[in-house]
């Protein structure tokens, strides 16, 4: 009899240890998760600075009658996050995997994918959720296929997709996401409701970056947030990634294995993200390097300019600077701007 109770006690202890280990593992994974994913909007109300689009989608959500959609606009403006948030509000966590198919840039984009993967998912019959689940989520009688970076699809693949959309429109809705709407063929674009996502204005981006920094316990030097927004060029996803990378660069890493209340926060009592650390992460070229190039380009005797510029360029290549970044910064460097104005 005693051995029976010993076995029950050991089982209870093992179950308890398993629960504790699972919680610790979940906390660890949460700390290691990229902040872009960690702070991705959970619902349409969490999407930043796309008020008109969100208002229209929320009205559509109430009727559960979703059209085919085409989201277009600059990268990092919330296109993918918006459609995923919409899908979560439509289907809830249990039906997301069976009702939503997402294909992104890492997937092959040829005609074979449209004929096989997309077509197979589109023709699948739907399972009916329980009445209790339907009270929480609308669960409309169709699936959603999300094609991210659809502008990279070949024209043949887009033509095949148009035929698939026509055939299975009763039980499947498509959401195409792209940066350049002109690269989507007209027969495909005309079947979709278009939603333009504009670049985030500085105010909204600053608020969101500060909010994430506060939640992670990251201290910011004055001007660091502005540097993040400037370096990311309106791409909020890039700004959040730069923030996380800069926090780790300056030594703001979570203390794993240490018991404390704010285990998910960064240990930044003495460290802070500075403007210089942000520029290092973003690959911004130092002003003195750009100044050398600009000075070498100033008018001199024939032949001397080429040699001077060539020497500076060779040094830049040796240092690993991006040519695109060099041109971008040099065009807006004050001395060069002044020279252009004088010549014009």
What pLDDT digit, counting tens, does each position of 22-40 carry? 455 545 556 678 898 888 8
Give the end-to-end CA distance of the chain in Å, rounded to a whole number. Answer: 100
User: Is there a contact between 179 and 72 (Cβ–Cβ < 8 Å)?
Assistant: yes
Residue 116 pLDDT exceeds 90: no
In the DSSP assignment, the letter for residue 197 is: P
pLDDT value of position 193: 92
Mean pLDDT, rounded, of the chain: 79
44-196 classified as CATH 3.20.80.10: no
Residue 60 pLDDT exceeds 90: no
Give the C-alpha separation, 195 to 192, whole Å. Answer: 9
Residue 269 vs residue 112, higher pLDDT: 112
pLDDT value of position 263: 43
Tell me phi and psi for residue 253, to 5 degrees. -115, 145
CATH of 202-282, one of 3.90.1010.10, 1.10.3720.10, 1.10.8.60, 1.10.3330.10: 1.10.8.60
Give the C-alpha separation, 230 to 239, whole Å. Answer: 9
Contacts of residue 178, defined as CB under 8 A and 6 or more positions apart, other chains included, come to 70, 71, 72, 149, 150, 151, 184
Residue 278 vs residue 12, higher pLDDT: 278
Residue 51 pLDDT exceeds 60: yes
Q: How much is the average pLDDT of 240-268?
A: 62
**Nearest CA among 28, 74, 27, 67 for reference residue 50:** 74
In the DSSP assignment, the letter for residue 45 is: G
pLDDT value of position 332: 66
């Amino acid at each position: 009899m005693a051995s029976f109770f010993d076995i029950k006690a050991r089982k209870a202890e093992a179950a308890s240890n398993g629960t504790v280990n699972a919680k610790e593992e979940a906390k660890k994974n949460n700390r290691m998760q990229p902040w872009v994913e960690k702070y991705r909007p959970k619902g349409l109300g969490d999407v930043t600075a796309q008020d008109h689009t969100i208002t229209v989608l929320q009205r559509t959500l109430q009727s559960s009658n979703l059209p085919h959609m085409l989201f277009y606009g600059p990268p990092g403006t919330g296109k993918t996050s918006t459609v995923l948030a919409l899908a979560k509000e439509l289907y809830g966590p249990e039906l997301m995997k069976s009702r939503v198919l997402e294909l992104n840039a890492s997937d092959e984009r040829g005609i074979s994918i449209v004929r096989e993967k997309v077509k197979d998912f589109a023709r699948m019959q739907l399972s009916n959720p329980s009445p209790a689940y339907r009270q929480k989520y609308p669960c409309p009688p169709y699936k959603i296929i999300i094609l991210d970076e659809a502008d990279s699809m070949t024209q043949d693949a887009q033509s095949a997709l148009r035929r698939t959309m026509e055939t299975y429109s009763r039980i499947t809705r498509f959401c195409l996401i792209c940066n350049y709407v002109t690269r989507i063929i007209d027969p495909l674009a005309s079947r979709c409701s278009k939603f333009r996502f504009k670049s985030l204005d500085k105010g909204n981006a600053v608020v969101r970056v500060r909010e994430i920094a506060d939640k992670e316990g990251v201290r910011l030097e004055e001007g660091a947030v502005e540097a993040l927004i400037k370096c990311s060029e309106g791409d909020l996803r890039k700004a959040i990634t730069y923030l996380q990378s800069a926090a780790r660069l300056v030594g703001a890493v979570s203390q794993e294995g240490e018991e404390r209340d704010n285990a998910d926060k960064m240990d930044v009592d003495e460290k802070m993200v500075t403007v210089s650390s942000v520029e290092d992460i973003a690959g911004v070229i130092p002003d003195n390097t750009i100044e050398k190039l600009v000075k070498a380009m100033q008018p001199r005797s024939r032949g001397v300019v080429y040699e001077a510029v060539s020497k500076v360029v060779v040094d830049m290549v040796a240092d690993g600077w991006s040519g695109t970044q060099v041109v971008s910064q040099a065009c807006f460097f004050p001395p060069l701007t002044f020279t252009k104005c004088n010549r014009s």
